[in-house]
Chains A and B, each alone.
Chain A
Amino acid sequence: MRISFRLPDLSLLIGGSVAGLILLCALFAPWLAPYHPNDQELLYILAPPVWSADGSAEHLLGTDSLGRDTLSRLIYGARTAMTVAAAASFGAMILGAFFAHLAGYFGGWVDWIISRTVEVWLSFPPVVLSMLLIIGLGVGTDKVILAIVLVDWTRFCRVLRSEVQVVRGQDYVAFARLIGFSHARVIVKEILPATLPMLITLLSLQMGISVVVEAILSFVGMGVPSDVPAWGQMIADARIDMYDAPWGLALPIFAIFVTVLSFNLFGDGLRRTLDPRHTANRGA
């Protein structure tokens, strides 16, 4: 047996640690943030960050047009982003994986109906579809999550379905049927373990996408309620003063950028690490 010396994947390491950091920020927001995100100090409107000439240490990243502390809002915004990203991605994964396994495993008319539904679903522009859903559902964090789940489950369904089909063609699946495993048992015991790596990878990529969608919805005022701090909302608020206070715009954009990048790197790293072709030589 050949011994392989494999370094831990670099993008997995970087992406994972940055994403983990953001997650910690979200979890411990009340303890980390120096101010309450909605506290207004009208004396300090549009204060610049600490490293510019007029900056003060009181507001490290400055304030917005209502005198709210940008750093605190960013940290609390991470909380919103992470809640939406995690819940929406899990929801989309469960819904998508469920239908993908049904379609890929049973084939025939089950597959036909599910695949056609997915195709019709995918032909709507995703952001427009989620806005339409929000109009119907109303504003709120839970509504944003629901909208993303309903839009993005198709992404999971399509990719996983073909993966399930490949595994279904393996003889060990036929064998499990021959010794009397029920369909549900075959799917859970024999097929799911094989599609799980793909599922986890897709989940991590979906988290990045969910962050962007949540930001877009908040930006157009159709996301979370206005009293909940969100990065998209911060961009929208800072837009009016973008020439006087560019930092107000740049910081939340940077936060979104870093978050999405870390999730994408993490997902890429996961894909490489979990790929069965790379794990062929695992130790006993």
Chain B
Amino acid sequence: MTERNILHIRDLDISLGTGDKILNGVDLAIAPGKILGVIGESGAGKSMIGSAIADTLPVGLAISRGSIEFDGLTLTDMTAKTRRDLLGRDIGFIPQEPMTALNPTLTIGQQVGRHLARIGIGSARKREQRAIELFTEVGLNRPGELLKNYTHQLSGGMLQRVLIAMAFASNPRLVIADEPTTALDVTVQLKVIDLIAKMREAHNTSVLFITHDLQLAAEVCDDVAVLYAGQIVERGEARSIINEPRHPYSRCLNLATPNLAGPKTRLMILPKAMPSPLERTAMAGCKFTPRCPIAGDLCIGTPPPLSEISAGHRSACHWPERTETITPPPLKADDENTVLGADLVMKATGLGKAYRQHDWLGRVRRVEALRGLDFEVREREFVGIVGESGSGKSTLTKLIVGLEDITAGVLDVVGMDRATTPRERFFDRVQLVFQDPQSALNPRRRIGSLVTQSLECRGSGLSASARKQLAKDLLAKVMLPPDMIDRFPDQLSGGQKQRVNIARALCSNPRLLIADEIVSGLDVSVQAQILELLRELRKQASFSLLLISHDLAVVRHICDRTLVMYRGEIVEQGPVEDIFTNPQHAYTKKLVAAARGNSGLYADATEQEAENEAF
């Protein structure tokens, strides 16, 4: 029975020096040629599984119990040298960020050559031949030329293909893919997934696919294991876990993910956060109890075993049958009928932005980042902007907030011409919520001071106690406890920081709020909290929102209208439902198809064309 498995992880514990467990009793097995997905939010310990196999655990962590068997060999008993020989040859890796995984000072050919030499191809000519073969196999055009290129000359999708080619070069029996698509654009993601699936079939390789994305896992994996707080809570066939989860956590994750099809619902909000390793040690029963909507007394004291509930489907819950009773909070009556104001908050006519680039000889080249944008945003309207990296989304934000100058057309913001009106008049009316709360909150200020920062430079006439009260009110608006005002940003979780970030932008009662990818770095459950918060705020406050996102489902969930941007132009705009159910422009069709996970809708030819333009 066990002989059949390529990888068998038995009862694996990974602990900190203090004895607190990062992973607790993880049991996984992959049969030859299968893809096993490991799903979990940040902090669940999913990357630790890959690190444990590769022997690259961070300092301070060690395997304290259990074993990892690879093809009948026990990895955990091997000497470092034999284990290293196995890695890269019998076990391949596909990293999360292709841009940082390759050395920018060497050509692609040199790096692939080194890897091929390591797996035992002696002569340089054979190595080149093999590299060209591999590149053709992963669908890269002009492989011969590619070998002479440096990493910065290739797009992220192409680099990921190079890395996939390298991972499969030695016909490994196992490939570990740690979030291989997270850093890529939506339309590229799917191709990479398809490619991994195709390579898996061609080489009969098993794949350990680590991801936070439920939909992605559903598409690519045969089996799935859901990881929560270092333990596997549910394991089984991918489709059945995604569609009919038998563990409350899987079910909640599912309900917290905004979807592209079906009726609009409110998202499931999981209270509190995942317990830290320290807190887990103190918990006797099921680690999910404090957040579980169906937890009972039994859950607090007794940990549920990972027991089989139907053939091949295991769930660590005392009441797996109750899982279906979990439903998202119902839509409130006033949810859908927000009244839009009559006034325009923003109006762009023929808006454009061109940069002048100098090369080393001083020759000037004009690069048009934005061309002829026409759109408007009404009062209290939520508008989404979708498009992939390089489409000009961020340049547009910079124009609106005045960080860049307009070079063509007219941009009217809150009734004033952006180009001619002095900057000061916009300060209170337009606010930006930054993407990365880590970078947007000064780590040396306390939360209270951060939230009311915009009052600081103008004589607000508020006393210290009034400011404190205002800070507390703002925190209450974003559902944070008032005692948080004396803390530093470092002491907050990612989701909490993002809420402080939003509260801070609301301080001056802006009429237009611009949110630049504010949920993209967050976990599913935290994303749900922020999205529901925005919908809630919409009812009380009177501001318009411009939400920039690469995630169509997020835009659909909270926006009224959407603009689709492609290469500096708006290719399509209209009500969210219309755009997503009946896209007109070829690019929108592709985008919607990619988000739906339907790769058959577009031909492979267009994809190659788009990628090769990176040269």
Contacts and interface: CB of A to CB of B under 8 A. Distances in A.
**Secondary structure class of chain B's binding surface, majority of residues:** loop
Contacts of B402: 178
Given A170-B439, A276-B443, A180 B490 contact: no
A120 interface: no
Interface of A: 1-2, 170-172, 174-182, 185, 189-190, 193-194, 276, 280-282, 284
B253 interface: no
Interface in B444-468: 444, 453-454, 456-458
B508 A179 contact: yes
A171 B488 CA distance: 17
Contacts of A170: 439-440, 442
Contact of B427 (A174, A178, A189, A282): A178
Contacts of B487: 284
Nearest to B508: A179
Nearest to B427: A180
Interface stretch (B3-11, B38-46, B430-438): B430-438
- For the complex of A and B, the 9 pairs showing the least CB-CB separation, nearest first, are A179-B454, A171-B440, A180-B427, A171-B434, A171-B439, A172-B442, A193-B444, A170-B439, A181-B457
B488 A174 contact: no
B488 A282 contact: yes
B49 interface: no
Contacts of A2: 276, 278
Contacts of B105: none
Contact of A180 (B278, B424, B441, B444): B424
B442 A179 contact: no
Q: B402, B435, B439, B458 — which one has the most chain A CB atoms within 10 A of its CB?
A: B439
Interface string B263-287: 0000000000000101000000000
Contact of B436 (A171, A185, A280, A282): A171
7 contacts: A178-B403, A179-B457, A180-B424, A180-B454, A181-B456, A193-B444, A194-B444
B488 A176 contact: no
B453 A176 contact: yes
B413 to A, nearest CB: 13
Q: B402, B457, B487 — which one has the most chain A CB atoms within 10 A of its CB?
A: B457
A175 B441 CA distance: 9
Given A2-B278, A179-B427, 20 more contacts: A2-B276, A170-B440, A171-B440, A174-B403, A174-B432, A175-B432, A175-B440, A176-B453, A178-B403, A179-B508, A180-B423, A180-B424, A180-B427, A180-B458, A181-B456, A181-B457, A182-B457, A189-B456, A194-B442, A282-B488
Contacts of B308: none
Contacts of B427: 178-180
B345 interface: no
Contacts of A175: 432, 434, 440, 453, 504
Nearest to B484: A284
Given A170-B439, A284-B491, A178 B431 contact: yes
Contacts of A193: 442, 444
Contact of B440 (A172, A179, A180): A172
B204 to A, nearest CB: 43
Nearest to A174: B403
Q: A194, A282, A284 — which one has the most chain B CB atoms within 10 A of its CB?
A: A284
B536 interface: no
Nearest to A167: B442
B439 A1 contact: no
Nearest to A279: B490
B164 interface: no
B108 interface: no
A267 B175 CA distance: 47
Contacts of A185: 457
Contacts of B607: none
Nearest to A194: B444
Nearest to B436: A171
Nearest to B435: A171
Contacts of B436: 171
Contacts of B443: 276
A284 B484 CA distance: 10
Contacts of A172: 439-442
B116 interface: no
A189 B504 CA distance: 17
Contacts of A276: 443
A190 to B, nearest CB: 6
B486 interface: yes
Contacts of A182: 457
Contacts of B403: 174, 177-178
Given A178-B431, A180-B424, A180-B454, A284 B439 contact: no
A194 B442 CA distance: 9
Given A185-B457, A284-B488, A284-B491, A178 B432 contact: yes
B401 interface: yes
Nearest to A180: B427
B453 A282 contact: no
A282 B490 contact: yes
A30 B610 CA distance: 81
Contacts of B278: 2
A213 to B, nearest CB: 34
Contacts of B442: 170, 172, 190, 193-194
Interface in B387-442: 401-403, 423-424, 427, 431-432, 434-436, 439-442
A165 to B, nearest CB: 14
Contacts of B432: 174-175, 178
A1 B491 contact: yes
Nearest to B398: A174
Q: A179, A189, A276 — which one has the most chain B CB atoms within 10 A of its CB?
A: A179
Q: B436, B486, B491 — which one has the most chain A CB atoms within 10 A of its CB?
A: B491
A194 B441 CA distance: 12
Nearest to A1: B491
A180 B457 contact: yes
A179 B403 CA distance: 12
Contacts of A194: 442, 444
A178 B401 contact: yes
